[in-house]
Amino acid sequence: MSVMLYALSTCPYCRMAKKYLDESDVAYDILEVDLLEGAEKDDAVARVKELSGGTSFPVIVVGEEVIVGFNKKRMKELLGL
């Protein structure tokens, strides 16, 4: 199962999501959107808007499911933890 974390480097909820994934030994990819530049940043912001309907962070994609914000209970359910 693929896990993707769209985050901001300055966001406390993004850090909590990253910490939870790390502590749960979940393999994931992360994209810190605020550290990107140019077209890469524009593309990442567009993707976050497409997934979440806005620009709230973090956005966690587990398989085909999208979690907006740090929702530990939902993450646990989707990850089978």
The dihedral over CA atoms of 61, 67, 68, 73, expressed in degrees to the nearest 10, equals -140
What's the CATH code of the domain at 68? 3.40.30.10
Residue 54: domain span:
3-79
Burial class (CB in 10 A: 0-12, 13-18, 19+), 4: middle
Predicted confidence (pLDDT) at residue 1 exceeds the cutoff of 90: no
Q: What does the pLDDT read at residue 35?
A: 96
Has this prediction a pTM greater than 0.85?
yes
Q: What does the pLDDT read at residue 28?
A: 97
Confidence of residue 12 (pLDDT cuts 50, 70, 90): very high
- How many domains, in total, are found in the chain? 1
Q: Give the pLDDT confidence of 19-67 residue by residue, as tens digits.
A: 999 999 999 999 999 999 999 999 999 999 999 999 899 999 999 999 9
Structure tokens at 58: 């973090």
Burial class (CB in 10 A: 0-12, 13-18, 19+), 22: exposed
Cα–Cα distance between 3 and 64 in angstroms, integer?
A: 9
Structure tokens at 29: 């990819």
